[in-house]
Structure 1
């Protein structure tokens, strides 16, 4: 039996959903060839397949796909990973379908199903694609459409169509540039040097000798104003009957945290030749991207909150000239590190090269034009090199022999696909038939290599290489039947097999059915002018999937009777199980007064079972970790949307939009042998508890005195005196909403997006670590504190206390842009448009930290999202 080795990937935890307004308009720059699913059947309902052109998406300093989509689709929540340049966002569809697996929509670019996992340690798997090369983005939500893509589409499908030329186009040269300035929106609320010095004199008089003579704002020392530039140049048109588009892009962004920077150079080429009077057409495309990230040790952020503000940044010493707390013998006290030293004495870099290319051939039969045959070959190749080097004189370097860490990630994915489509009208019975069948073969080869070494003394070196190969074969199909242009029955399926296994081939399946009823076309509504659109839809689907079969297969075991943690495991399962999901949805789309007022209402219900959860088990005298398919998750979501065309008169135009999403999720099972599963590492403080929301907080319940102040060490305890942790709150909002506006008057135009969330909490771990102050004769140095210390009076950290669990509801101004179309300039030789954009200008929230939007709900002092102002120039020749 063939078994690939364990592969390195990133786990995406269960999240929520975000919401914003969009306006469905057709694109002027799409591929002439359909992909295997983006055809009429899947895009009939605007509420289910929302298609938005790039021009209607986010604006400003926006250069990757995640930035473009934040807040744009109902039910799709994108939470930025932080403010570091080049990083992506956690993308979750309707609270997800898995407890530990991937909860992002499946991404399809020009018909190619993209690998959902990033092959970079820091950049996302979509960061290579220049946002300027995107023509339209569509989101498939209903099961009848998404099941065509398999189990990986249980969380929806995000279809990205890139730009191409058109036969009717004359040659056009377009150039756009954006210059931006970014700054810190909000500082952490800590004591200044003067206030800290006064506090020590008042409360810890005997430790005044530990104070320095300087006035250092450590946050000013680590943050800066970041200047950025973005350029795009593209040439499009047609050479005879061959449309073409050639585009180049460059991004150079400096982050607000010193030492952080992102650069990307991209190239895109598209050709669409045709033969035999367009019965034979080709779509040839190539995308190349080179990314370079300069990363910071983000521990500098909490370190700046903690370091003594009365000490200097630099000093005359043996640690590279950076002030360091030392012992009498001159050795560094490594428990507190100079924040500037972390940024300037450590160098983290990553470079990623990506090549994406495909050739899609379509032949429309001469003797049967309603039947088309398609063949696609695509190849995606990526290589990422990460290097982290610590300078030898750095203070905390003395505690570790490691000064150089490297990682290399390589990926090669090849796609071979053939499919047939049939769109046949049957006038005799007033019917329309849509049929698709296809076969896709995918080959993947991943390689991971890492090393740790001491490059100067050569006394320590180790490394490991992991290579995995995977080959999948899937067949799929869909059928749509429409009667009298009013009643549509649709269905789709996909079956995927992992051919790496000889005896027990891993299979992932999906199947779904749906009905649509165009009520407006019924005779009793045909004559009314008030109702312009009224459609009803109903869908149900079943999905089974394994995000990473290599990982789960090598680590999945069957428990014997009793508690697996105590009794161990009987042995490996003979079959790799799959996570299973059942989805149901019902909705209504409407339009009034010639669609001047339009909207939709949808209810979605998802029940997932056999979800993987890792558990520890005993092996001899030690412990191991394996996955059990014992988890369950139930999700219910109600989505509403309203679009209103307020003004439409002459050159004046104003549109308003409002979306709301109410989401509820509940863990229905984590196995019969445990009552709570707790996370570790970066998610420590979160848990899975049956009957509670996913990502519930697991904290000690703090007790308070008669004055309402938290008691030092005062936790709710058992009868044996042990502090008890309780499930409480959730990092996932219960309500998501978005408000947008687009307007134009004469040559001026304006667009705005506000988005927000309510009903979620964030555990302010950064505050918990700094909301105390204590000094005695054994102290070797002083640490700063958060100003909340004045209210708590705590003398030690309470990092798992419920006192620091805060409401994190917020309203954020995603962007506001004002533009002016100057028309033809320079002797009528070119068109010019200029714009000014503000991003993240304000956030309204009661949360005391720097930013209420934290991916996993635990704020350790993460890289804050910057406030950015941009000026843009667009020229067309």
Structure 2
């Protein structure tokens, strides 16, 4: 009996398995978007309640195994999620965009919000909008992409970082104007690492998912004393739960070339100018018979490769993403090269029925920078073009050099530019690791209460070595030298905050409360030693540290999704200031009105978004460059500062100047903005107005003798004002079955003014000179002056002859006193642009796509110090050697340099195409599980400008031996498995 029952049970179970198996079917389909009926690649397709998933390919196709009667979930960023019951083997899905993507989540300080609920000036750039090309440092991904954010690309040295300025960045005169950068919740040290490498170049750009820029104080004030120059939040890529194993392999090769060089005389022009110069009798006997373009000798075709391998996999309650990358990029200057090996891991785990999530991010990189001899660029522009490259003998490495009669190198002569590159070594190795662990817990005893703990670290160590052999002309006097340098920069972070959200449906309200504590400690050490064969070794080393402790809070309120309120308060304590000034309080408040939610617009067929925002906030600046400026400090004197007692000389110990009352700078910002969207988000953008006033500005000022231990001191004296208007516009211009085109445009108008520089009004105080230039010791061409923009150019007004040529040494008598002196110096423009423009275009036709980025700058001025210091007859000969000069001498005929002439202050407005990219997505040439994409990109395509230097985009506004930016051609291949 029992045997028969057992047989019946087994037969029933087999039938059940057969029925269940037969109920599972293969589902296929195509996912398209509603607006243009175009396929959507990368859509996640998941069987609800399981870990079975798939992702659509480039043509929107998917295949998945599912039970008949089960449910498939289709999700894609920016589109409404759909759930569909499985009743057929073919299910095609049309996905509809969220209106203007208003429900898209945006990371903000210590939390997140949606575009719809944001009250501040926040702008997001995600990976699909990034600039393409040979990108070695992450900030280059967003050049030209956001209003009010000026990313000035680096020069021709690979691995250099760009200069970032948010809303002009003119929040300080002496402190740091770089924005605070936060990577996955970890604020990174804003200083550059040793050796001159970029602070972010060890982060693989391929690992970055998005940038969020916080621009106004109502959004940045949550970071208090660190946010005056703005905040950039970088989020790295991660895996998704319930997703299949995905492998991505990408590789590209690039070649860069010099686009423009310094305009100097060629050999024939040099001989002609020399023959007619006042020093012809000294120059002509030294002329050679060659025609050498020395700039051609130091530049090269720059080859580069970048390869990345990424694996992602999602399970029911966990996911991971792992990547490795390898980048090699030569510079266009010989001997320069950047090499990076990187790895990253993101792991997420959900526990306690998803009440607890644990996320771990860790990324590391080993980079090596081969730096060229920095003097080669300037020397190549000045070396005599009539001389040969090589001498024909083995002395000094075989390179032709200027020699004394006894055969020794002329001690003050310029060195052979190619010899400088090939006979000197400067190599720096960098180890970088940054990571954090985030725990996020939804409390079961109180719905809406969330606890978050973020523990992170940032470690950066640089070790470099320099070598100059004694057999080279550069190392002759010291008989060669070896130097070492490096730094360690490390920080640890611990953040803990509670967040409470509550929907009160009875009164149509939502509230959110956040309170937390943050602590971050920084340690920095630098060393620099030089050991010449002849002479005493030089050792410059130091170590320092500082810490920041903060209490943060935020209150957010929404009524009926129409009226939004945001209030933040942060109390910061910085070890950089004394106990009396250590703590500061920073507030912000913002109001927003979602006008499109009002009844008279809610059902509009035209307006899909209309929001008015008002904001006010206070921020600070504690990146002052010194950690103990409030303390009296004694330092060891140098060997030339010894004191004699009897027959013995003793090194002195001397006090440094200090300001016991030094404190952070403080800024107040007002912001008003209007977000708009039309035709279901096909046209969208915003317009903003802001004004920012910074008080207690740190400034280097002269002080009365005997009042301190120095004659100049950095102290809190000064007020600044910045204001501007920003405008953004995004439009889906065209969307049909086989063709789509959308563009994004941004514009900024920015001004800045110095309001105060000293304690009392002093008519004799003309300002603080800055912008020191080459050509004569002690000359400066810029000034910080009350009522003017920062670093305004101060020069004589050049007088021109009837032939239109400048008359040497003749300037306008501005004050009419009959003499030309410092009283006739006047303000002529400043380096900051009045207007910045950016235009990005994205077009798709079938499998093809074409993208480009344009940037324009209007109203920026540059002082051409290369022309002013060498474009004259005096520069043709010096210290028994001939030297080349700038070709401007052909226009001016100047015999001596005219360093303070406004002739050299030039309008450097420009229009640039930064990127032009053409891509093709292949289909039906490989197994269906493999997607293949090929992309061709040109970087630095063209520059239109009237500026006659190498490049009009000069940080600081003084052009002096600028490393030219290359034009780069790139071919890349991307495969998804």
Q: Normalized against structure 1, the TM-score is what?
A: 0.91
In structure 2, the partner of 1:183 is 257
Residue 484 of structure 1: how far off its partner (Å):
1.2
- Pick from 540, 553, 560: which aligns with 1:464? 540
Match of 2:953, SS state, is coil
Aligned with 1:712 (options 801, 808, 822): 808
CA offset digits 1:465-508 (Å, max 9, x no partner): 32213232111011110111100111112111135878436123
Preserved contact between residue 484 and residue 528 of structure 2 (Cα < 8 Å): yes
Instruction: State the match for 2:699 in structure 1.
Output: 613
Deviation at 1:710, TM superposition (A): 2.2
State yes or no: 1:325 paired with 2:398: no
Aligned: 1:699 with 2:834: no
CA contact (8 A) 1:80 1:855 kept: no
For 1:30-85, what per-residue CA distance to the aligned partner results, in whole angstroms no more than 9, with x for missing partners? x9997852411787349822222112111011132121122121111111231210
Alignment of 1:68-147 (within 5 A): 68-96=141-169, 97-147=171-221
The aligned counterpart of 1:11 is: none
What per-residue deviation string (whole Å, max 9, x for no partner) do you get for residues 80-99 of structure 1? 23121000011111122112
Separation in 2, partners of 1:804, 1:393: 40
Aligned-pair distance for 1:215?
1.5
Q: Secondary structure at the match of 2:268?
A: helix
Measure, in 2, the Cα distance between the counterparts of 1:260 and 1:823. Answer: 40
Query: Which of 473, 482, 487 matches 2:563?
Result: 487
Tell whether the 8 Å contact from 1:747 to 1:820 is kept in structure 2 after alignment: yes
d(CA) in 1 for partners of 2:565 and 2:358?
32
- Are residues 1:270 and 2:370 paired? no
What corresponds to 1:794 in structure 2? 894
- Contiguous gaps of at least 5 residues in structure 2: 1-75, 82-103, 634-654, 775-779
- CA distance in 2 between counterparts of 1:579 and 1:165 reads 41
Matched, 1:59 2:136: no
Over residues 713-736 of structure 1, what are the superposed CA-to-partner deviations in whole Å (9 max), with x where a residue is unaligned? 334577566455333211100010
Matched position secondary structure for 2:810: strand
Change over 3 Å in CA distance of 1:623–1:322 after alignment to 2: farther
Q: Per-residue deviation at 1:402?
A: 7.7
For residues 436-585 of structure 1, what are the structure 2 equivalents within 5 Å?
436-454=514-532, 456-457=533-534, 459-498=535-574, 503-504=579-580, 506-548=582-624, 550-551=626-627, 553-554=629-630, 573-585=659-671
The correspondence of residues 840-859 of structure 1 with structure 2, limited to 5 A, is 840-859=940-959
Alpha-carbon spacing, 1:343–1:776, altered in 2? closer, same or farther (3 Å): closer
Output the CA distance in 2 between the equivalents of 1:500 and 1:761. 36
| 2:713 alignment counterpart | 626
1:677 and 1:840 map into 2 onto residues whose CA distance is 36
| Separation of aligned partners in 2, 1:152 and 1:435 | 22
| Alignment CA distance shift 1:502-1:484 (3 Å) | same
Alpha-carbon distance, 1:628 to partner: 2.0
Query: Residue 331 and residue 413 in structure 1: after superposition, are their counterparts in 2 closer, same or farther (change >3 A)?
Result: same
Deviations 1:720-775 (A, max 9, x none): 66455333211100010011110101111111100010111111111112322259
Give, in angstroms, the shift of residue 317 of structure 1.
6.0
What is the aligned partner in structure 1 of residue 489 from structure 2?
Answer: 411
Paired residue secondary structure (2:221)? helix
For residues 570 and 744 of structure 1, the distance between their equivalents in structure 2, rounded to whole angstroms, comes to 63
Q: Which has the larger radius of gyration?
A: 2
TM-score, length basis structure 2: 0.82
Match of 1:562 in 2: none
RMSD over aligned CA atoms reads: 2.7
Q: 2:241 matched to which residue of 1?
A: 167
Q: Which residue of 2 aligns with 1:292?
A: 368
C-alpha contact (below 8 Å) 2:105/2:112 kept by paired residues: no
Deviates more, 1:202-211 or 1:169-178: 202-211
Is the 2:106–2:212 Cα contact (8 Å) retained in structure 1? no
- Structure 1 equivalent of residue 926 of structure 2: 826
Residue aligning to 1:669: 756
Alpha-carbon distance between aligned partners in 2 of 1:275 and 1:599, rounded to the nearest angstrom: 40
Q: In the alignment, what sits opposite 2:855?
A: 755
Q: Output the CA distance in 1 between the equivalents of 2:443 and 2:720.
A: 47
Greater alpha carbon shift after TM alignment, 777-786 vs 174-183: 777-786
Q: Deviations over 1:830-872 (max 9, x none)?
A: 1100010011011000111111001111111210110001001
Q: Deviations over 1:276-328 (max 9, x none)?
A: 11101100111111111011123222221211111011112632221111232
Q: Which runs of 5+ in 1 are unaligned?
A: 1-23, 558-568
Contact kept in structure 2, 1:51 and 1:138, CA below 8 Å: yes
Cα gap change, 1:309/1:341 in structure 2, threshold over 3 Å: closer, same or farther? same
Paired with 1:356 and 1:26, the residues of 2 have a C-alpha distance of: 30
**What SS does structure 2 have at the residue aligned with 1:448?**
strand
Q: Does 1:252 align with 2:328?
A: yes
Match of 1:566 in 2: none
Q: Which has the higher contact order (CA 8 A, sep 6+)?
A: 1
Q: Quick one: structure 1 residues 400 and 729, their matched pair in 2 at CA, closer, same or farther if it must change by over 3 Å?
A: farther
Q: Is the 8 A contact 1:35 1:111 kept in 2?
A: no
* C-alpha deviation, 1:373, in angstroms: 0.6
